[in-house]
Amino acid sequence: MVKVPGSVLAVMAHPDDLELWAGGTLALHARHAPVTGVVKTHDEVRDAEAVAGAKVLGIDLELRTIVDAATVDELIRRYRPEVLITHPVDDVHPDHRSVAAAVLAGRPEAHIHTGCPQRLYTCDSYNSFTLSGPVNAPVIIDITTTFDQKMRGLAEHRSQPIGDHFGPMAQNLAALWGSRIGAARAEAFTPLPILGRLPGTAHL
């Protein structure tokens, strides 16, 4: 019997990051398991867009004024996710790096006490570049069936440059990663070790 994907907690910096970097994968997992996205609050408009985008993806959303190590520890203990997703630790955006650092700092004690998350991944970045160079993502998820859902969720962020910037980039990245696995559209992820152990799994 094939094991279906488990629960997911995605912790990211900005209201549109969930859709942009992992929207297709989150929507795919939400068909089988609970998925919660956590992003930092911004202003009233962007927060409302985040709520609308999460609804399109079919995931739960938490808006937090602070995302630090203590926040991540509390989120893991409460949700006990099988999978945790965040930004690359060497992302080109300083806000992304800050959230990734908080995830890495807040995860160890929570994992020791709960056994969660079982798997930790970082997502893609702007045009698949980090401060260390191109994203090297060995885990590529076929999101062909949820790509339209991803783009509709991203389109809810009307205050952002979706049509002439983030939208085309999302299209290009999805096509690029998809071509590497023979799929129309895909998203890329990089596993990080948890207490010295990397995941061995067919899905996130």
**pLDDT at position 204, please?**
79
| Residues above pLDDT 70, as percent of the chain | 95
Task: Using a cut of 0.85, tell me whether the model's pTM lies above it.
Answer: yes
Confidence of residue 4 (pLDDT cuts 50, 70, 90): low
Q: What is the mean pLDDT of the chain?
A: 94
pLDDT above 50: residue 1: no
Residue 65 belongs to what H/E stretch? none
Q: What is the pLDDT of residues 165-204, one digit of tens each?
A: 999 999 999 999 999 999 999 999 999 998 777 766 656 7
Per-residue pLDDT, averaged over 77-83, amounts to 97
Per-residue pLDDT, averaged over 2-25, amounts to 91
pLDDT above 50: residue 2: no
pLDDT above 80: residue 15: yes
Q: What is the pLDDT of residues 125-163, one digit of tens each?
A: 999 999 999 999 999 999 999 999 999 999 999 999 999
**pLDDT at position 202, please?**
57
Topology of domain 8-192, per CATH?
Rossmann fold (3.40.50)
**pLDDT at position 196, please?**
74
Buried b (16+ CB within 10 A) or exposed e, 22-51: bbbbbbbbbeeebbbbbbbebeeebbebbe
**pLDDT at position 65, please?**
97
Torsion of the alpha carbons at 176, 4, 80 and 87, rounded to the nearest 10 = 0
